[in-house]
Amino acid sequence: MPNEATSALPALAVIIPAAAGVLIFLFGRFTGWLKEVLAILGVGGALAASLAIGRATLRGEILTSFDRQFYADSLSALLVVLISGIGFLATVYACRYMLHQVQDSEVPHASSARRLTMFYGWLMWFLATMLWACVSNNIIMLYVAVEASTICSGLLVAFYWDKRALEAGYKYLMLLTVGITFALFGCVIVYASGAAVLGGHRGLLLSDLRTVAGSFPITTVVLASAFLIVGFGTKAGIAPFHPWLPDAHAEAPTPVSALLSGVMLKVAIYALIRTVSLFYPHFSPVAMFVLGLGVFTLVLGDLMALAQDDLKRMLAYSSVSQMGYVLMGVGIGTQIGIYAALFHLLNHALAKALLFLAVGAVTYSTGARSISQLGGLAKKMPITGFCFLAGALAISGIPPFNGFQSKLALFVAGADAGVWWAVIIGLATSLVTLVVLVKAAQRVFWGSPPDQAAMKNVREAPLVLQVVMVVLALFCLGIGIYPKAVYAPLKAASAVVMTVGQNSTTTATKPQDRAPALTGRTSNPILVRYTGPAR
């Protein structure tokens, strides 16, 4: 039974990178290495705080700060560890990668030091706002934090300041701001209904709203769900609200692309889960709608990925598709469904960050990122090649990589809930993913290069880039071989969603007993393997 404990950790996880950002903006340009050191320290501090939050929540605690405005349960813990962990690796990668990028690009009116200062400053604030979203217990501040993460990443998307980057930056800020405004309407409707039951201040707190959302009128639920799905769904890249995503993910500097695809989409899904799942126990059609949207997204994303020549755009569309899988699990709504969704969310974050960073390494060494311009790189860049292949196989759901485990759990959840149509479409689309990514890996690394001379002087990426990629690849492999390592945090995180409707501090003794959104047979032995024995 989780107990609430007052702790500075949730606030520290946000404040440390935010403060690092302030220091970088103030002093970053004066010394050559200071901004990089501050960035590593900032995100490193956030990682340490996040790991401590994770350890506390595994002990069954819920950490709160500032009169429960910051609130970290098992679901928040999973996200903050993911954000700060991948954020740390992306920042280390950026220290080497961005120096090279800034030296190579031609941007008037701005020295390299100023541009890098801006880059690391916004990067820290971007990470801080994403962490804030995941520990915010105030439904309006959840919206504020999610929108703040868009603002903080806007100039990062437009960083290269050329025609393509500016176009991507404009679309990114405009479309996401319009989209997220719908989420504000949704949050306000939920608050207004909650405040009528709970009283003004408590109506803002997600931890209290989860106990009363079942009493809302059906019209309120339908309207709020529609606004929340459009709003947070736009940010999560859910089709048909995804058009900003391929542009932004492809044109941003690679470490930012890795964070956008690997982490930011997950923050939006987290916001969606936190808010829309409030209605699951009593309004199951909401879950069915989410499931349908997820299946539509996973198919559309992969079909679009199939047509791409630009490696980063291909990966971006693949992210759309994989977010469809996550949404499919959220829509299934049973404990195994939510568990599978969170498992796939974790695996996709690791594998997609790996793929983007591998493409960054290719761009670093060759200056190209079009599949048609590349070939035969495996001999020159073997580490990058194998890391890309590992990421491709992981996303495609091929054993022994992590994606296999989460997709299996997802399909088992779908079968258990009786939504065979979704399982069949998901399986077929997985084959398309395999074709898209492995074909790209084969052509870029093992195919014959279109221009032998252009590939002649190519060398493996610098050591720092290789180390970061290898670490991510080992995580993908390690979780694939030994998935039990992540069972406990994932199970605890999925239990948070499954106990909506109950008091959060008296978490379900039997979460499986609650009526799932779609009917599931929790006695299934395969489910027991994935979710542990029924308590």
Partner 1 sequence: MLNPNLIHTLSLLMIFTSFAAVEARNLRHATVAYMFQALLICGLLVAYAAQNPSLYYWAATALVTKAILAPWFLWRSTAGAVQETQPVVGFGVSAVLVIILLSAMYMFTHAHAGLFIVGATGQVAALARTNLAVAFTVFALGLYAILTRRDAVKTVIGLCLLENGVHLSLVSLAPGIKETALAGIATEVVVTVYLLLYIIGGIREKFASTDTFKLSELHW
Interface with partner 1 (CB under 8 A): 138, 140-141, 143-144, 147-148, 150-151, 154-155, 158, 161-164, 166-171, 173-174, 177-178, 181, 184-185, 188-189, 191-193, 195-196, 200-201, 203-204, 217, 219-220, 223, 243, 246-247, 250-251, 304
Least distance in angstroms from the C-beta of 110 to partner 1: 12
Q: How far is the CB of 414 from partner 1 (least distance, A)?
A: 29
- Token readout for 322 is 């994989």
Q: How far is the CB of 136 from partner 1 (least distance, A)?
A: 10
Complex with partner 1: residue 140 or 464, whichever CB lies closer: 140
Contact between 89 and 360 (Cβ < 8 Å): no
Please, what is the minimum distance in Å from the beta carbon of residue 193 to partner 1?
Answer: 7
Our CB check for partner 1 shows the closer of 107 and 435 to be 107
Minimum CB separation of residue 205 from partner 1 in Å reads: 11
Q: Alpha-carbon dihedral of residues 158, 162, 163, 165, nearest 10 degrees?
A: -20
186/489 with CB nearer partner 1: 186
Which tokens in the block code for residue 428?
């077929």
What are the angstrom distances between the C-alpha of 87 and each of 91, 126, 353, 406, 478?
Answer: 6, 10, 10, 22, 20
Q: Which is nearer to partner 1, 161 or 487 (CB)?
A: 161
> What is the closest distance, in whole angstroms, from the C-beta atom of residue 101 to partner 1 in the complex?
18
The DSSP 8-state label assigned to residue 513 in this structure reads G
Phi, psi of 333, deg, nearest 5:
75, -10
Q: Shortest Cβ distance from residue 273 to partner 1 (Å)?
A: 21
Q: How far apart are CA 417 and CA 273, in angstroms?
A: 19
CA distance 104 to 102: 5
Residue found by looking up tokens 């399986």 in the block: 427
**Burial of 484 (C-beta count, 10 Å sphere; 0-12/13-18/19+):** exposed
| Closer residue to partner 1 in complex, CB, 184/434 | 184
By beta-carbon proximity to partner 1, the closer residue of 86 and 311 is 311
Please, which residue, 163 or 456, has the CB nearer to partner 1? 163
Beta carbon of residue 145, minimum distance to partner 1 (angstroms, whole number): 8
Do the beta carbons of residue 429 and residue 299 sit within 8 Å?
yes
Q: Which is nearer to partner 1, 125 or 475 (CB)?
A: 125
> What single DSSP character describes residue 95?
H
d(CA 27, CA 150): 24
Comparison of 67 and 451: residue with beta carbon closer to partner 1: 67
Least distance CB 313 / partner 1 (angstroms): 9
Q: Please report how many Cα atoms fall inside a 13 Å half-sphere around the Cα of residue 411, on the Cβ side.
A: 14
Alpha-carbon distance of 474 to 480, in angstroms, equals 10
Smaller CB distance to partner 1: residue 171 or 439? 171
Nearer to partner 1, 201 or 379 (CB): 201
What is the chain's percent helix, strand, coil content, to nearest 5? 75, 5, 20
CB-CB contact of 299 with 324 (8 Å)? yes
Sheet holding 61-65, edge to edge: 3-6, 61-65, 70-72
Q: Please say whether the beta carbons of 224 and 189 come within 8 A.
A: yes
Quote the least distance from Cβ 243 to partner 1, whole Å. 8
What's the full length of the chain, in residues? 535
- Cis, peptide link before residue 399, omega less than 30° from 0: no
Nearest approach in angstroms of CB 319 to partner 1 is: 15
Work out how close the CB of 73 gets to partner 1 at its nearest, in angstroms, rounded to a whole number.
21
| Contact call for residues 127 and 153 (beta carbons, < 8 A) | no
User: What is d(CA 471, CA 477) in angstroms, rounded to the nearest whole number?
Assistant: 10
Residue with Cβ nearer partner 1 (178 or 488) = 178
Minimum distance from residue 517 beta carbon to partner 1 (Å): 24
Residue 70 and residue 125: Cα distance in Å, rounded? 17
- Nearest alpha carbon to residue 444 among 487, 351, 534, 380: 380
Main-chain phi, psi angles of 466, to 5 degrees = -65, -45
Of 155 and 434, the one with the shorter C-beta distance to partner 1 is 155
Specify the residue, 22 or 41, whose C-beta has the smaller distance to partner 1.
22
Is residue 64 within 8 Å of 137, Cβ to Cβ? Answer: yes
SS3 394: helix
| Least distance between partner 1 and beta carbon 341 (Å) | 27
**Residues 213 and 190 sit within 8 Å (Cβ to Cβ):** yes
